Chains A and B, each alone.
Chain A
Amino acid sequence: MIRWEITPGSVPEPVLRSAPRSALKIRSGSRFVNTEFFAAWIEEITAAVRAGRDHLTELDAAIGDADHGTNLDRGFTAVGEALAAAPPRTPGALLVLVGTTLIRKVGGASGPLYGTAFREMGKAFGEAPEISPAELSAGVDAALAGVRRLGSAAEGDKTMVDALAPAAAALSRAVRDGLKPEEALEAAATAAAEGARATVPLQARKGRASYLGPRSVGHEDPGAASTALVFGALRAAASRG
């Protein structure tokens, strides 16, 4: 007898890969970051997404539709082309261009969500040529607010918010405590990675994984995993010179 009922599934916990780290160090003494820093961040994200592409797609295959890594890879490849074609002069303009390109090129939910995150961060920076740690933290807060608004997701829904929100909180705490930029970004990257891992036991309430109901339990959320890569890349950019 075939019965229509919901049963949980289980699959081993996937391994999160971290972004490659550069040996270069941030210029000592300066707490401000400029356009080159954000360009380096985007390069680090692009490399991390490329390296993690298959892993992200596998995470997505388990509870979504098997395209997250492919889509982000395609999006950041387009971002690289857009930045090379018309290099922006300020951090704000750079991030707005990154966001707009992602919205235009990625599709799916991740295009508008990541696109909005970068655009909101860029808009928060305005025209400033250099960004202080406090402004960087405010920018990440703006990104989080934008993603929350667009996706209507809260922490615990098993989405990218589960990595983004702890990263924003950790960065804000680190800045308040007067940590050095490298330390603040280390804290944000660690919080994002922990947040992503913590999505494994959650049941999805938003996004495509929510269709699986209890069967979404036991898998890391691909959006949270890619958000952890994004913050790992921020740490990597800070350790460049």
Chain B
Amino acid sequence: MKKLINSAGSLVSDALRGMAAAHPSLRVDLENAVVFRAEGARPGKVGLVSGGGSGHEPLHAGFVGHGMLDAACPGEVFTSPVPDQLVEATKGVDGGAGVLHIVKNYTGDVLNFEMAAELSGDEGVEVATVLVNDDVAVRDSLYTAGRRGTGATLFVEKIAGALAETGAPLAEVARVAREVNERSRSFGVALTPCTVPAAGKPTFELGETEIELGIGIHGEPGRSRAAMGEAREIARVAVDAIGDDLPPSGETLVMVNGMGGTPLIELYVVFAEVEAYLREKGATVVRSLVGNYVTSLDMQGFMVTTCALTGELTRLWDSPVETPALRWGR
């Protein structure tokens, strides 16, 4: 394993020191491992807090700033943050209008955020929670922990963040956040596994000519394995998996998200195929994002995330945003 780390144990705190040094727009609480906006809570504005395991950068800390999150809580690599951390963040961003927790649907994240919401409530902060569960590779049934939260997390954070910036009340911000989630779907493909620094070796083995279909964002194997093919063929598998669940139609926001180790040029190859295939199926891609946004350390591969837009959602997507990893219109 070759990694640019000082030690596996200090990885998260060393990276947070780097974020603090690189971005004066952020205030990084190193003791509690919370990334805040430097300007602090704005009175009357709903605060947005998200968090999750580290290893998905720029998610979530890279999305702290105007028009998006108010605070992010990174846990250890692929491990949800702890309740204390989340309470610190929740209290820190409360401007008196309540706080929205944006939680990816994983057992650990759900449990820790639930505990934090309860503890924050005890301290007088009103908390609403939106669960993100956009991954179509997992069937939502009694026999699973439910669909995973993946790429749509970015859409939820961006769009709910834009609405919160207008001074909308907590119930409204939560409603839009849930609507974005309900209108979004994702499907991921891995060409290689990733290496968790503390484990020191790849999370699974994949042959030279094999790919994993239906992966999550934690280096876990996918739902099935297939032979490597052309980008066109793989892109169509992803779009079909999404379409089987929610047939594409109308104005659509599409993200082709790299898993961390894939060159941008390949992501654009995939995007071209995704856009053309969606058009063939009757949807129009009106907004797009191509790049590494919701990653899985050094994994090679991509994820397609779609969101069926409405006029309101498009307007909020276009609203100004100014964060380390996403910025436009300001």
| Partner pick for B107 among A5, A63, A206, A213, CB 8 A cutoff | A206
Contacts of A63 in B (CB 8 A): 220-221
> Beyond A3-B226, A109-B111, A150-B111, is A211–B220 a contact (Cβ under 8 Å)?
yes
Contact across chains for A113 and B79 when beta carbons are under 8 A apart: no
Q: Which residue from B142, B143, B224 sits with its C-beta under 8 Å from A6?
A: B224
Separation of A65 and B112 alpha carbons in the complex (Å): 17
With A67-B79, A111-B82, A208-B145 as contacts: A57 and B199 at CB distance below 8 Å: yes
Minimum CB–CB distance from A47 to chain B (whole Å) comes to 19
Q: Which chain B residue has the least Cβ–Cβ distance from A57?
A: B199
Chain A residues with CB under 8 Å of B53's CB are: 65, 107-108
Whether B77 is near chain A, meaning CB under 8 Å from some CB there, is: yes
Separation of A205 and B226 alpha carbons in the complex (Å): 24
Asked if A88 CB lies within 8 Å of chain B CBs, one says: no
A138 within 8 A of B: no
Interface residues on A, range: 35 or more
Q: For the side of the interface on B, what is the size category?
A: 35 or more
Is A105 positioned at the interface, with any CB of B under 8 Å from its CB?
yes
Q: Is the CB of A215 within 8 A of B108?
A: no
B residues in contact with A7, CB < 8 Å: 224-225
Q: Main SS of chain B's interface residues?
A: loop
- Chain B residue nearest to A108 (CB atoms) is B108
B196 A215 Cβ-Cβ under 8 A: no
Q: Mark A60-90, 1 if CB is under 8 A from B, else 0.
A: 0111111100110010000000000000000
Q: From residue 105 to 133 of chain A, which have CB atoms closer than 8 A to chain B?
A: 105-113
- B221 in complex: contacting residue of A9, A67, A108, A150, CB < 8 Å: A9
A168 interfacial by beta-carbon distance below 8 Å:
no
Q: Note all chain B residues with C-beta closer than 8 A to A207.
A: 107, 145
- Contact call A205/B218, Cβ cutoff below 8 A: no
Q: Please state if A4 and B213 are interface contacts (CB–CB under 8 Å).
A: yes
Kindly list chain A residues whose C-beta atoms are within 8 Å of the C-beta of B142.
205
The answer to whether B223 touches A61, judged by C-beta atoms less than 8 angstroms apart, is no
Known: A2-B226, A150-B111. A65 touches B76 (CB 8 A): no
CB pair A67–B198 under 8 Å, yes or no, is yes
- B237 in the interface, Cβ–Cβ < 8 Å? yes
**B144 at the A interface (CB under 8 A):** yes
Picked from B111, B199, B223, B225, the residue with its CB within 8 Å of the CB of A70 is: B199
Within 8 A of B (CB), among A51-65: 57, 61-65
Q: Is the CB of B223 within 8 A of A212?
A: yes
B144 A211 Cβ-Cβ under 8 A: yes
Contact B145 A210 (CB under 8 A): yes
Min CB distance B258 to A, Å, is 19
Contact B196–A103 (Cβ < 8 Å): no
With a CB–CB cut-off of 8 A, which chain A residues contact B213?
A: 2, 4
A40 to chain B, nearest CB (A): 27
B245 CB → nearest A CB, Å: 12
By beta carbon, the residue of chain A nearest B230 is A2
Is the beta-carbon distance between B83 and A211 smaller than 8 angstroms? no
Contacts of A107 in B (CB 8 A): 53, 75-76, 79-82, 108, 112
Partner of B82, one of A6, A106, A211: A106
**By the criterion CB–CB under 8 Å, are B144 and A67 in contact?**
no
Bound Cα distance A206, B224 (Å): 19
The distance in angstroms between the C-alpha atoms of A119 and B79, with both chains bound, is 21
CB atoms of B234 and A208 under 8 A apart:
no
Residue of B nearest to A159 (CB): B107
A104 within 8 A of B: yes
A70 to B9 Cα, complex, angstroms: 10
Whether A61 contacts B203 by the Cβ 8 Å rule is: yes
Q: Say yes or no: A210 contacts B144, CB within 8 Å.
A: yes
Q: Which residues of B contact A6 (CB under 8 A)?
A: 223-224
A66-B199, A67-B198, A112-B111 known; A2+B143 contact, CB < 8 A = no
Also in contact, A104 and B83, with CB within 8 A (given A9-B221, A212-B221): yes
Q: Mark A86-103, 1 if CB is under 8 A from B, else 0.
A: 000000000000000001
Q: Return the CB mask of A185-222 against B: 1 if under 8 Å, else 0.
A: 00000000000000000010111101111010000000
User: A109-B80, A111-B108, A112-B112 provided; 17 other pairs, C-beta below 8 A?
Assistant: A9-B225, A62-B204, A64-B218, A64-B220, A103-B115, A104-B83, A107-B53, A107-B76, A108-B112, A109-B106, A109-B107, A111-B82, A151-B111, A207-B145, A211-B138, A212-B220, A212-B223
Closest 6 CB pairs of A and B: A108-B108, A109-B108, A65-B218, A112-B111, A210-B144, A109-B107
Could you show 23 A-B contacts with beta carbons less than 8 Å apart?
Answer: A2-B211, A2-B229, A2-B233, A57-B198, A62-B204, A66-B78, A66-B219, A67-B77, A67-B198, A70-B76, A71-B76, A103-B82, A104-B84, A107-B80, A107-B112, A108-B112, A109-B106, A109-B107, A205-B144, A208-B145, A208-B220, A210-B138, A213-B223
